[in-house]
Amino acid sequence: MRNSGRSQALWTFLRSIDYLQLLVMAMLLTVGLIFIRSTGMQIDTEASRGFFHRQLLWIAAGTAAYILFSLLDYRSFFCRSAMILGYILALILLVVVLFFGLKVFGATRWLNVFGFRLQPSEPAKLMVIGMMAEVFAAPRLAQNKLLCIFLAGLTIALPFFLIVIEPDLGSALVLLPVAGAMLFCFGIKWRYVMLGLAAIAAGTAFILLDSFREEPLLLRNYQRDRIKIFLNPNSDRGNRGHNAYQAKLAVGSGGLSGTGIGRGTQNELGFLPHTVSNNDFIFSVIAEETGFLGAAALLLLYALLLYSILRTAFMVSGYGRYLSCGIATLIFCHVFINIGMSAGIAPVTGLPLPLVSYGGSFIMTAMITLGIMQSVHRHARLDETDR
């Protein structure tokens, strides 16, 4: 009888797993490792050869975190309290990085933790989603939607402005569509949706106008230059626009089937700068070396990943649905903007490609995020079994 009960419990557990998400995540991580190794071999320096091994370490740590969060019940008091404490810790780290962070290329975004670089803005995105989901799902707050919206706005405003100050405008702006999608999921009235869209349009217009001022009010000089180059790609191809131009050239030179893994000339000859070829512009390397077919396959993997998350969102309600909606939007924005940078349809912002780009902070955040989604899916399936 005991063996029968254990077998039944194991079978129930195995049936509750989202295998599509698990398979797609593993494939994307593999793609990232292949092309991080490819760029390292082409650059062939001691530092570049170490990228692959460091990424393996981050993936190993991320896998442990993924398994842990997958097994936990995301609805438990422990997990929801941890998300609130994580949000507070994220705010503290965002303040600390402004005073004690490493300054790289004019931006103070990283903390040196035991020899590893931690970018607090990455986990902060997940914590914002968790905190907003908590606000929207609170029964007492749900009775007063205006209060909910105000608290949600405050939840996002604090990290938003701290990230802008670093400065990291790209990461900060990603929080806006995430908040908008979660508000829409919350059931905000259409007039407020239209008001929000009008505010975003006004903000975008202000940023564009500010980019043409000699002394911008909001933007840093390099941010202004990025926007001007995006609007006129040929204006400064030899300097500020070099990375974006070479990335787009790499995408176009891949043809149908690509030049072959490890044979991309844009990266090998240094036209696509080695400092960005394995992170911000890794899609350009993939598109050049695998061509249209490889790039299309990568997009299909991301489409399947988003499908698995949105499928889970429709299986749950309340807290789980808000989490799913925010996470799906965050991943979509990163994919769209990162690939858009390489294709020339989005300004350069430095957002990594989820699970593919080199970098520990976002690999850990992405795998924890997907671990939470696995937990949401598993408990939704278990609840169906219990009915």
Nearest to 136, CA basis, from 120, 121, 151: 151
Count of structural domains within the chain? 1
Which pLDDT tens digit goes with each residue over 91-121? 999 998 888 877 766 667 778 776 677 888 8
Is 337 contained in some domain? yes
Is 152 contained in some domain? yes
Is 4 contained in some domain? no
Which pLDDT tens digit goes with each residue over 219-254? 666 666 667 666 666 666 666 667 777 778 788 788
Enclosing domain of residue 239: 21-386
Q: What is the average pLDDT value for the chain, to the nearest integer?
A: 82
Q: Which helix (H) or strand (E) is 257 found in, with range?
A: none
330 band by pLDDT with thresholds 50, 70 and 90: very high
The burial of 3, by beta-carbon neighbours within 10 Å (0-12 exposed, 13-18 middle, 19 or more buried), is given as exposed
Q: What is the mean pLDDT of residues 290-312?
A: 94
Is 9 contained in some domain? no
Is 1 contained in some domain? no
Is 16 contained in some domain? no
pLDDT attached to residue 111: 81
pLDDT attached to residue 146: 80
| Sequence-distant (≥ 6) Cβ neighbours of residue 159 within 8 angstroms | 90, 91, 94, 121, 124, 127, 128, 172, 175
Residue at token pair 């991320």: 62
Long-range contacts of 304-313 (CB under 8 A, 24+ apart): 304/20, 304/24, 305/21, 305/24, 305/25, 305/28, 305/331, 306/331, 306/332, 307/20, 308/18, 308/20, 308/21, 308/24, 308/373, 308/377, 309/21, 309/373, 312/18, 312/373, 312/376, 312/377, 312/380, 313/185
Is 295 contained in some domain? yes
Which pLDDT tens digit goes with each residue over 169-214? 788 888 888 988 888 888 777 777 677 677 777 777 776 666 666 6
pLDDT attached to residue 325: 94
pLDDT attached to residue 312: 94
pLDDT attached to residue 22: 94
User: Phi and psi for 274 in degrees, rounded to 5?
Assistant: -65, -20
Q: What percent of the chain has pLDDT over 70?
A: 80
pLDDT attached to residue 326: 94
CA distance 115 to 97: 15
Q: What is the mean pLDDT of residues 297-315?
A: 95
Is 194 contained in some domain? yes
Which pLDDT tens digit goes with each residue over 247-278? 787 887 888 888 888 777 776 666 676 667 78
> In residues, how long is the chain?
387
pLDDT attached to residue 210: 63
Which pLDDT tens digit goes with each residue over 140-169? 776 777 888 888 888 988 999 888 887 787
